[in-house]
Structure 1
Amino acid sequence: MQKSRPQVKRLSHKVKRYVVVSVSLLTLLEEIQMSHFSTLRTKITDAEILKASLRDLGISVKSEADVRGYNGQRVRADLVAILEGEYDLGWSRNSDGSFDLIADLWGVAKKHNQTELINSINQKYAVNKTLAEVKQRGLQNANVKLVLQK
């Protein structure tokens, strides 16, 4: 009977160590929160045309605001498209003058078809940018014609 007691103590001692290690790891994981934000390079360069394009699509825009992400996480961006739901799209100007898209794409996809949303923003921006360039060159009544070929 005495031989079994030391084995129980050793086993109990090992369990206590394991619990302490587990608690330490949980604390560490809480301190290092993983970000859900993704950054995508775009060819968007004109902030005013981007704002107008978002408004044309019925999307509210804020300047110098926080992009909302998973679990209350926020990232600062130059322009933020306020989307229906708990997640936003943001754009920050990078060193080459273009804007990077910043978003919690997983979260955006919960409420929106992210591919269609981003494509519609890019398409509207391209049309508005083209019209602005044409008007700048003196053509006041410009139309954009989309030609599809197979």
Structure 2
Amino acid sequence: MSHFTQLRTKITELEHLVAALADVGYATVETHDEARPLRGYQGDRRRQRAHVIVRRQHVGAASNDLGFERQEDGTFRAWISEYDVRELGAGWLGRVEARYAYHATRATLARQGFSVAREETDRDGTVRLVLTRQATGF
């Protein structure tokens, strides 16, 4: 039985988290108002609970569920098994957080009246945005 590890994040916005998970390959994601139990690789219920869940069958053949549990301060705590950390790689959560930041930034820019004229992604994953903004009348 794999042990679940909890990892702190600065993720707060559900919609950007779901979009980030889709970007890293998990288009099938459950979201719940009340936290639900995570399941282990044999389908057993674990004591860890989450509001955002990628079920094990969408992660890998011998994987456990991946979960994100909303905390009292509004952030999400990530639950991932030791097995899945090894399988997905130590940088997996960092990739999710980077894509979360991308979606959060795009949403903030849109609210501030900016449009993306061009977007470029470097080999290292750095994203460059060229923005335009509608001129305001004087």
TM-score of the superposition, structure 2-length normalised? 0.68
| Residue identity opposite 1:112 in structure 2 | L
Consecutive unaligned residues in structure 1, runs of 5 or more: 1-33
SS at match of 1:140: strand
Instruction: Check if 1:111 corresponds to 2:87.
Output: yes
Match in the other structure for 1:136: 111
Structure showing the higher strand proportion among its residues: 2
User: 1:87, CA displacement in angstroms?
Assistant: 1.4
Structure 1 SS opposite 2:108: helix
Instruction: Give the Cα separation in 2 of the matches to 1:130 and 1:116.
Output: 21
- Superposition pairs for residues 1-150 of structure 1, below 5 Å? 36-59=3-26, 60-64=28-32, 65-69=36-40, 72-74=44-46, 75-82=48-55, 83-85=59-61, 86-104=63-81, 106-113=82-89, 115-141=90-116, 143=119, 144-145=127-128
Greater CA radius of gyration, 1 or 2? 1
**SS of the residue 1:127 aligns to:** helix
Give yes or no for contact 2:67–2:80 (8 Å, CA) kept in 1. Answer: yes
Q: Match for 2:53: what amino acid?
A: V
Separation in structure 2 between the aligned mates of residue 110 and residue 57 of structure 1, nearest angstrom? 16
SS of residue matched to 2:29: strand
Please, which runs of 5 or more residues in structure 2 have no aligned partner? Answer: 120-126, 130-138
Decide whether the 8 Å contact of 1:36 with 1:69 is kept in 2.
Answer: no
Q: SS of the residue aligned with 1:45?
A: coil
Relative contact order higher in (CA < 8 Å, ≥ 6 apart): 2
Share of identical aligned residues, percent? Answer: 34
Q: CA separation in 2, counterparts of 1:111 and 1:68?
A: 17
- Rate the CA distance shift 1:56–1:35 in 2: closer, same or farther, 3 A: closer
Q: Which amino acid aligns with 2:83?
A: G
Runs of 4+ in 1 over 6 A off after TM superposition: none
Asked if the contact 1:37–1:69 (Cα under 8 Å) also holds between the matched residues in 2, the reply is: no
Distance 1:109 1:99, change over 3 A: closer
Could you state the TM-score of these two structures normalised by the residue count of structure 1? 0.63
- CA RMSD after TM alignment: 2.4
**Could you report, residue by residue, the CA deviation over 1:62-109 in whole angstroms, capped at 9, with x for unpaired residues?**
1134423366342321001231232122111111111111122x1213
**SS in structure 2 at match of 1:92:** strand
Structure 2: how far apart are the matches of 1:120 and 1:52?
Answer: 12
